[in-house]
Amino acid sequence: MKILVIGATGTIGAAVSEALDGRHEVIRASLSRSALAVDLADPESIKRLYASVGTVDAVVGAAGKAAFGPLLALSDEDFALCLTNKLMGQVNLVRFGVDALADRGSFTLTSGFLSRFPTPGSAAISLVNAGLEGFVRAAALDLPRGLRINAVAPGWVHETLVALKRDPSTGAPAARVAQAYVKSVEGGMTGQIEDVVGSQGT
Ligand SMILES: NC(=O)c1ccc[n+]([C@@H]2O[C@H](COP(=O)([O-])OP(=O)(O)OC[C@H]3O[C@@H](n4cnc5c(N)ncnc54)[C@H](OP(=O)(O)O)[C@@H]3O)[C@@H](O)[C@H]2O)c1
């Protein structure tokens, strides 16, 4: 399969690209550190990306910025960032990507465990993640030509906790998170949200 991975330089996207590489042709895209540049927050940039890659068999969205902070401290700009970047950026990957996908191709988006298991400070990101999961379930009913769509909902990733200098023992290794994306790309599921959590359920 020819697979387009957006966010391929990130903690999750790099692990997904590595897991798919070898068995598939992986096309890596990201904001600034890949050969192929795309800005999820800019619809025209997404359209240009699809025009440049031609037909693909799968699209993986593993990018998207969101704001974290106490509800009453979140600004209009924080909410706008979440909505235009992680939420509508990934929704637009689907809207503008349908014609680029081969029959029975798939989209795999990234939400997050905070959609259904919030913590203090997660109001904006929980909003976005829950919105993405609702979108995936509904879009699966509408997509033509046998196209599939799923989301992976990671909890904390081990490598991210290490980078944040937090206790990494509760995180799932990126390589294990990547297997949920592989399952979505290579399997037959659609409309599904695949949770991947660490050993203590976070
Ligand atoms: N890591 C976690 O613990 C965790 C847990 C749950 C959910 N998630 C979700 O998983 C996704 C990826 O997380 P991550 O930790 O792998 O992120 P990361 O390590 O910070 O990497 C971010 C990736 O997204 C790309 N990117 C950033 N802004 C972009 C934009 N506007 N348009 C296109 N690409 C953009 C970056 O590209 P460049 O390198 O080129 O800048 C990079 O490839 C995020 O949506 C995050 O909310 C992460």
| 14 CB near ligand 1 (under 6 Å) | no
> What atom in ligand 1 is closest to the CA of residue 38?
33
**Given ligand 1 and candidates 6, 28, 31, which is best to mutate, with the most ligand atoms within 8 Å of its CB?**
31
Percentage of the chain beyond pLDDT 90 is 96
Interacting residues of 42 by C-beta distance below 8 A, sequence separation 6+:
none
Do the Cβ atoms of 158 and 116 come closer than 8 Å? no
Reading the block at residue 59, the tokens are: 């699209």
Tell which atom from ligand 1 comes closest to the C-alpha of 41.
31
Hey, what are 165's tokens? 């200098």
Going by C-alpha positions, the residue among 9, 53, 10, 26 that lies closest to residue 182 is 26
Which tokens hold the place of 15?
């692990």
Tell me the pTM: 0.97
Mean pLDDT of the region 36-65: 97
Per the model's pLDDT, the better-predicted residue between 60 and 199 turns out to be 60
Kindly compute the dihedral angle of the four CA atoms of residues 75, 79, 81, 82, in this order, to the nearest 10 degrees: 140
CA within 13 Å, CB half, 34: 22
For the cut 70, the answer to whether the pLDDT of residue 200 exceeds it is: no
Q: Please check the confidence at residue 201 and state whether its pLDDT lies above 80.
A: no
Measured from the CB, is residue 11 less than 6 Å from ligand 1?
yes
If you measure from the C-alpha of residue 166 to the centroid of ligand 1, how many angstroms do you get, rounded to a whole number? Answer: 18
**pLDDT reported for residue 198:** 84
pLDDT value of residue 202: 63
pLDDT tens-digit profile of 106-142? 999 999 999 999 999 999 999 999 999 999 999 999 9
124 in Cβ contact with 74 (< 8 Å): yes
The CA distance from 87 to 152, in Å, is 14
Please work out, in degrees rounded to the nearest 5, the angle formed at the alpha carbon of residue 158 by the alpha carbons of 184 and 33: 70
Centroid of chain to Cα 152 = 7
Q: What is the DSSP string of 72-108?
A: GG--HHHHHHIIIIIIHHHHHHHHTTGGGEEEEEEEE
Which ligand 1 atom is nearest residue 161's CA? 3
